[in-house]
Structure 1
Amino acid sequence: MTAIPVPFSGAPRVNLMPRSEVARRERDQLVRLWVWIVLGAIVVAFLIIAGAFAFKFFADQRLVAEQVRTNALLTEIASLSEVSQAIATESELTDYRTDAMTTDLAWAPVISKISSVLPADTAITGVDLTVGGAPQGDDPTSEQGLVGTVTFDSPTPIDIVPLIRSLRGVEGVFYADGQSVTTNPTTGGRYTYLLTVQFDQTVYSNEYAAEEGGE
């Protein structure tokens, strides 16, 4: 067999470094690596702690700002307490007025309705009418609103039956009837008539009634 020569390039080298020195260098290299790892961990921990402190600082600043804003709002609300109290008092008084004035009415139109059916030569001499109850339903024509008597005199006798019928036909009159007729010689023999009359609740003005959907 023919031997194949082993090729060599360059000058031959021999590692004469002791084994202990190689181990020492490896240990130093490993120590340096761990030192850098520890330093890196310290830097990362420092950055995390610094970030937490910065986050807490800005959060505290926001909290202080919100507290200042809350205190300002509370101060503003406190300054408006008198206004709120005044509004509440006005609302109570409005409700009281609404309840108290549910039976408010104008007397002149009532007297005018009675006078409209009386003969021209008669004169109303007395009115004793009492306001009825507060409205209880939605139909004011079905509830009594004003009741009492009306006195008028005439120089001549009057056929009271057609007069009462006419009075019953007047808008707002709930009921009407004759009660008595007398003559008084001291007044020249004039005839005095006493009528009972009742009006429905359409005679109420409703001027102070509460608006629908409101208090």
Structure 2
Amino acid sequence: MTAIPVPFSGAPRVNLMPRTEVARRERDQLVRLWVWIVLGAIVVAVLIIAGAFAFKFFADQRLVAEQARTTALLTEIASLSEVSQALATESELTDFRTDAMATDLAWTPVIGKITGILPSDTTLTGVDLAVGGVPVGDDPALEQGLVGTVTFDSPTPIDIVPLIRSLRGVEGVLYADGQSVTSSQVSSGRYSYLLTVEFDQTVYSNEYAAEEGGE
């Protein structure tokens, strides 16, 4: 049998270290590795905790600033409470006046419209008119605003039909009734006449009406 020569390169070496020492060194190396891993984990945890505390700190600072701003705003609002109450009271009074004076009218133009159609020798002797409802529609010329009776007298008899037609043609008059006309000679020698008349809401002054776009 022919022996196969074993190739060698360099000088031969022999590991004379006991296996127990090799195992110990391996254990030491493994322990050091785990120590570094644990230390790294601790450092990461500390950084995370520090970051959380820093975030909470800045959040608390912002919260304190917002609370201070809120307190300042509440103080300003409280200082304006009297002004707000005064404005609210003014608004309520304005609304009340608007409702209460919705049927306000100037009597002089109304009387002028009636006397304007009377003959020159005829005298207006009585007016019994009452205001109608509060304006609710868009066209005041279609709503009843003033209704009642008027009395006038004349030294001579007059044709009441043309007079009623003239009254019906007056601006703002919705209706004039001639059925209730009475004629009688009084002791003074004058004749008395009674008419019913109805005006629309254009006779209202609207002086206290709410402004457009206002409350």
TM-score bracket, shorter-length normalisation: 0.7 to 0.9
Which digits, 9 at most, give the CA deviation of each residue in 1:157-179, with x for residues without a partner? 32223212211222222224323
For 2:69, the equivalent position in structure 1 comes to 69
C-alpha contact (below 8 Å) 2:154/2:190 kept by paired residues? yes
Q: Tell me: CA distance 1:27–1:117, structure 2 relative to 1, closer, same or farther (3 Å).
A: same
Q: Partner letter of residue 42 of structure 1?
A: I
Aligned-partner SS, 1:198: strand
For 1:179, the equivalent position in structure 2 comes to 182
> How much has 1:7 moved relative to structure 2?
3.0
For 2:24, the equivalent position in structure 1 comes to 24
> How much has 1:211 moved relative to structure 2?
5.2
C-alpha contact (below 8 Å) 1:150/1:194 kept by paired residues? yes
Moved more, 104-113 or 85-94: 85-94
**C-alpha RMSD over aligned residues:** 2.7
Q: Tell me: CA distance 1:63–1:37, structure 2 relative to 1, closer, same or farther (3 Å).
A: same
| TM-score, structure 2 normalization | 0.82
Unaligned runs of 5+ in 2: none
| Equivalent runs, 1:3-152 vs 2, <5 Å | 3-135=3-135, 137-138=137-138, 140-152=140-152
| Equivalent runs, 1:152-171 vs 2, <5 Å | 152-171=152-171
**Distance across 1 between alignment mates of 2:141 and 2:5:** 138
C-alpha contact (below 8 Å) 1:105/1:203 kept by paired residues? yes
Identity percentage of aligned residues: 84
Aligned-partner SS, 2:182: strand
> How much has 1:100 moved relative to structure 2?
0.8
C-alpha contact (below 8 Å) 1:181/1:194 kept by paired residues? no
C-alpha contact (below 8 Å) 2:164/2:176 kept by paired residues? no
| Mapped pair 1:196 → 2:199 | no
Which digits, 9 at most, give the CA deviation of each residue in 1:77-116, with x for residues without a partner? 2223223222222221122112111211121221121122
C-alpha contact (below 8 Å) 1:167/1:176 kept by paired residues? no
| TM-score, structure 1 normalization | 0.82
**Distance across 1 between alignment mates of 2:136 and 2:46:** 81
> How much has 1:2 moved relative to structure 2?
5.6
**Distance across 1 between alignment mates of 2:182 and 2:4:** 161
**Distance across 1 between alignment mates of 2:30 and 2:136:** 101
Unaligned runs of 5+ in 1: none
**Distance across 2 between alignment mates of 1:39 and 1:143:** 94
**Distance across 2 between alignment mates of 1:140 and 1:7:** 127
Aligned-partner SS, 1:179: coil
